[in-house]
Every structure is written in structure tokens, then in C-alpha cells.
Structure 1
Amino acid sequence: MNLLTHDWNGNPITQLTTETAIAKFTIPATYVNATQMCRAHNKQFNDYARLDSTKTYWEALSTETGIPVSGLVVSIKGGNNKQAQGTWTHPEIAIDLAQWVNVEFRIWANRALRKLMTGEIITTPTPATPEPVPTLPPAPEEIAQVIDLMLGKTDLHPNLIAGVKGSAIAKLHPQLLPAIEAAKTLLPVPIESELVRPTALGEKLAEKTGEKWSAIRVNKTLIDRGFQIKNPDGKNPDYLPTEKGKEHSQLVVDTAKGHGKTIQSLQWHLSVLDALEANDH
């Protein structure tokens, strides 16, 4: 709302400076909040409105201006905007209302309210607040460049780095997820010798020792013997190799059971079995 606020002995009385839509009404510029005028003098607008002289005046003003009486006096009830609530009237009616209140108020209203009507007060409409520009995610190429900066000089396999890029891009561009998941399946990490999961290592250890080795026991042993640590960032992968374990392991792109999604996992060369045995001595 674009308002001009007049002051009457410390009481605000507002006048519209531009045509304004309030609730279901469109209220013209220069209309005045008559409810505020009455409140400043502990008066009720309805006491003024029910007078025969008031009704006669409104009808005459309607004829002269071509504005129906319902457009000369507009009552706004409810809503969250307290500034908009109350009865808004044509400025001529506001001046007539001031005369009904008392002579002093009439003189003030005749001077203050007419200034906007005659152009003595020039108001500049408050510019509309521009819509915030939505922040766009970085382009896939930019995401890939950042990951290259972070991982390009590590000993991770290029295909694994490509998988990390795909996951990061899919997170910010979910519409690309199907294409990325399809591409990940074509990124096997080439290996020179067989890589196995902890479950398979457990089977090999069971054959050697005659004891039962679960994947949990294998992972705990690899941690206790200094070959791996738990990933401090959580899962994917669950474990990371230590310097001691790097020569016997490889981070690979794997497929999560039952989900069809690619993940990273730490798998082992069978040479780790000999390293574990040597570690016992």
C-alpha cells in the first residue's frame, strides 16, 4: 500500500497516494481512512453515516462525480493488513465527516486532505521489490572441475573419480540421475589380480585356520592389524585403507545390493592373507 500519513494531534490518519487493491475492492487514490478520523475523537462512523443530511450529501456527491455511493464509502473488514482495515471514503466525504466532528478538525482536514487532491503534495510510488533471482546450481562441467582439483593428483583410479563426479552431479542435477547411473555401470575398475570382499577373505581364512570368519570379524581384524580404518565421513566407502593396506587393496565402484545404485567399496587382493599371516609372527 502506498500511503500518506497525516498527523492530527499525535493520531495517524492515512490517505492513499495511488489506486490500491484491498481485499476484493479497488480503492482510488486520495481516499482517506475515516475510521482513523473517528477514532481520533472517540466517535463512531456509523453515527455520522445514519444522519439524513449525510445520506443526502452522499447521493448529491454521487450524482456530481458519477461514482455510486457504494464506491464513495468502502468498508474493509478482516484480513492480516491492519493498515487496510476500516472505512475508506472519498476525500470530500472525509472533509464532511470532519465538519460533523468539530470545526477545528474540519479546518485541519480541509487543508491537509486537499493537498494531495490538488497536487500540492507530490508522492512517488514505492517501487516494487524485485523478485529474488533463484540461485542456480553449478553446471555439471564446473562440478567435474572441482572434483578434478581435489582428486586429480590422488592414487584413486580414474574410473573411480569419474564415479565420484557422477554422484556429485546427480545430487545437484537429479534429472541426470538415470543417465549417470547407466554410465556408472560401464566404469569397471581394471585390476591385475583378483579382488575380493571381506566375506570371501573370511572363506579363505576359514580354510586356512579351520575357524569361522565372518565379514565383521575380517573387517575388525584388518582394523586391528592396521590395514584399514573406518571412514570418518560415514559410509561410501565404509572403510579406507591405511598406508600399510594400500598395496593390498583397491577402492572400486560397486553395486549396492537390492538398490541397483553404484557405491564405493574397499576390496582386497589375496596378498593381504600373506600379510596378515606375516603380521602374526
Structure 2
Amino acid sequence: MMTYSILVAGCGDIGAPVAQAWQQDGQQVFAMRRGGIEFPEGVTGITGDLRHHDVQVWPEVDLIYLILTPSGRSVEAYQQAYLEGAQALIRAYQGRKRLPFVIFVSSTSVYRDETQEIDEFTVAEPDSETAKVLLATEQLLHAHLPSLALRCTGIYGPGRYRLIEQVHAGNPWGENRWSNRTHRDDVVSALMLLGQQALSGATLPPMCIATDEEPAPLWQVRKYIAEQIGAPVLQHDVVAADQGKRIRGQLLASLGWQPTYSSYREGYRQLTAEYLAAKVRN
């Protein structure tokens, strides 16, 4: 079996299971995290803000996952996390004889927020300043290193209870828009598949979309959650949404990827059960 060296730059909720899966596959795995020293067993951990690592701290690797998290929702926080993080990575590797392939976790927020159907052939025209930073980061990486941007729809999964908590609290549902989401575990499986393809020498597109198979009206999702946790259904007539993006990915499917959680129902069925169990324990 061929052995590769892999770096997960951002070993958190998504990066940790990716690092663990590659380590269990027998690969040499390095991982970076901003704070803390907890890393998956067998993974070589590097702690500290990657923007400030000396060049020699960055290991020689074949594949890099860049999974960054801003400290807030401001443009400045996005620039510090994404653009400055990518710049640090480029400084570390662009002069080396062996250039690693970089998979950058991005977002479908790079598409204009208007009522439309979106896939990988839709031109990215971000209308928020933070989304412009994400697109600029994608373009910067493409200009300097072999790379791919995985544009994810709204990521939910273990411990991500924000929408459930809103429904449980009886908060107003607001406008009914189309919503799109991806379970955390499906993001991980997409990253693993793309990494395997990159290491095999396959020709990959500059970006692809990770999303489940069913865009859904937000009221419909909230209604399902309410029924699962016994919360009030605030809007009884769940009409079709007439605003928002409906996002479908084609390229990952063409590589053989299938989400385990094909719609919000599969994902929130499990997540609401975990939420209720945690409420009982607490």
C-alpha cells in the first residue's frame, strides 16, 4: 500500500475525524489547531496560530486540508482566518520542490443570495463582504498551489443545535426561504473522497459543492424539528418557499459520493434525539 503524508490544518469538528480516518488508513498524518493539545491518536499535533508558524514548522506532505474557522462574523475576522491563513500556507509551500494538493473548505455563500437554482456551473458572485473574502481565498490558493475548494451548504450535526434550540425556545420562525444543508459526517466523507482522488492523481475540478439531496423550505425544516421535540408548530401552513437559493451538487456525485443524510429528515431525526437525551442528562 502506498503511504502518503497528510496535513489537516484546522483539527476541529470536521478536521479531527478526517485526520483520524487517514491515520487509521495507515497514512502519516499531521494536524494543526489554534489552541489545545488534543489530537486523534497517532496524529502528530502542531498547536498554535498557523498564520504565525515558521516555514520549517510546516511538514513535507502530499495533501493538505485547510479547514479554517473565523473568530467572528466580521469581515476582519474572515480576512484574518481565511486570507491570512491561506497566505501563510502559500508562503510555506510555494517554493518547495514537491507542491502538496490543497483542499479548502469553503461555502456556497459565494453564490449571490437571490432566488435561483445553483450548481457547479453557476458563476460565483458573492454579495456579502465575508463571502467575497472566501472567494478571494479560493482564488489565491488556485493561483499558487494545486487546489480545490469544497463549497459546503449549511453544516449541521453533532453538537450543532442552534436551529433546534430556536424552535425549542418558540422563537418566531421569520420568513420562509429555501434552505440547504450538509451533515458534518457527509462533509467528512466528501473530504476523504476528494483526498483519495487527489492522491491517486485524478484530475479534479477547481471546486465542487457538498450538499444533501433535498433543498427544503425553512418552515418545513422547523416544523419537522418541532414535531420531533414536542415544541409548538408556529406556522401551520407550510407553503413552498418563494425566496432563496436551491443548491444541488453534481461533481461529487459523479465521483461516487452519496450523502448518508440525504435530507434534513435523516439528519435531524438523529440530532433531535441526541438533543433531547442531552436535555434529560442535564
Assess same fold via TM > 0.5: no
Q: Relative contact order: is structure 1 or structure 2 higher (C-alpha 8 Å, sep ≥ 6)?
A: 2
Whose helix fraction is larger, Structure 1's or Structure 2's? Answer: 1
Task: Give the structure with higher Rg (CA).
Answer: 1
TM-score (norm 2): 0.17
